[in-house]
Amino acid sequence: MTLRRTGPGRPRTALHDPAREETAYAPAPAVELRGVRREYGRGPATVHALRDIDLTLPRGTFTAVTGPAGSGKSTLLRCAAGLDRPTAGSVRLGGTEITGMAENELAELRRGRLGFVFQAFNLLPSLTVEQNVLRPMRLAGLPEDRGRAARLLAQVGLDGAGGRRPAELSGGGQQRAALARALATRPDVIFADEPTGALDTTAAAGVLALLRAAVDSLGVSLVMVTRDPVAASHADEVVLLSEGRTTARPPRGIPAAAA
């Protein structure tokens, strides 16, 4: 089940990408899952990580996938992003069916159309911050646009930090750099797996504001896995998983015990 965010709007952090202003999106949803199952093992030991998931996530929206440990959140993200293959069902990204794609085709799609932000940042320590942001451009076969890298770093609050190594930044700074890297190729969808899980409250709030801004100002579609209800509250849609299935949750603002 998905729930739409309601109530008054919150202040936004503005990000700006002139190139996106001229981009016309096709009407296809950002992400579609139909009858998706993911099983590990065989026989009595089979683990049913996902059970017949049906989801449609519109373009230009922020979706939070939440639930208890072991509920299938990260498996759903990996299947939706083409990092794992479902046992059954269909996955579409921007109208493109990816379920039967060869691995080299999936890799090309991920490099050109998707961005990723992980809990552990996954920045290459031997590269500078700027080089980390430029790397997705090179992998996607695009020119390494240092001007764009500098603009992205400035927009995420890292103006002038391009020459530093990731280890020289705080945890929040590293996650901001990871977000700049994820935006480098102007992806259709960004997948974020517990992006605030390793951050303190202040750093987490800053990263969440930037994720929100990427959706509101740049038109990026964002899918975020999180166990944090505060992080989930920034989303337009909340998908709750339990034992591999989507399930209902109390309306926003109503404590679970009172529902």
Domain assignment present for 189: yes
The answer on pLDDT for 12 being more than 80 is no
Domain assignment present for 259: no
pLDDT digits (tens, 9 = 90+) for 202-243: 999 999 999 999 999 988 999 999 999 999 999 999 999 999
Domain assignment present for 61: yes
Domain assignment present for 241: yes
Domain assignment present for 102: yes
Task: Check residues 258 and 220 and name the one with the higher pLDDT.
Answer: 220
Q: What is the pLDDT of residue 196?
A: 95
Q: Structure pTM?
A: 0.84
pLDDT digits (tens, 9 = 90+) for 86-124: 999 999 999 999 998 999 999 999 999 999 999 999 999
Domain assignment present for 187: yes
Find the mean pLDDT for residues 138-162: 96
Domain assignment present for 17: no
How many domains are there within the chain? 1
pLDDT digits (tens, 9 = 90+) for 15-73: 666 555 444 444 589 999 999 999 999 888 899 999 999 999 999 999 999 999 999 99
CATH classification of the domain holding 46? 3.40.50.300
Domain assignment present for 42: yes
Q: What is the pLDDT of residue 199?
A: 95
What residues make up the domain containing 109?
28-247
Q: What angle do CA 144, 110, 5 make, to 5 degrees?
A: 105
Q: What is the pLDDT of residue 14?
A: 59
Q: What is the pLDDT of residue 42?
A: 86
Q: What angle do CA 178, 181, 187 make, to 5 degrees?
A: 120
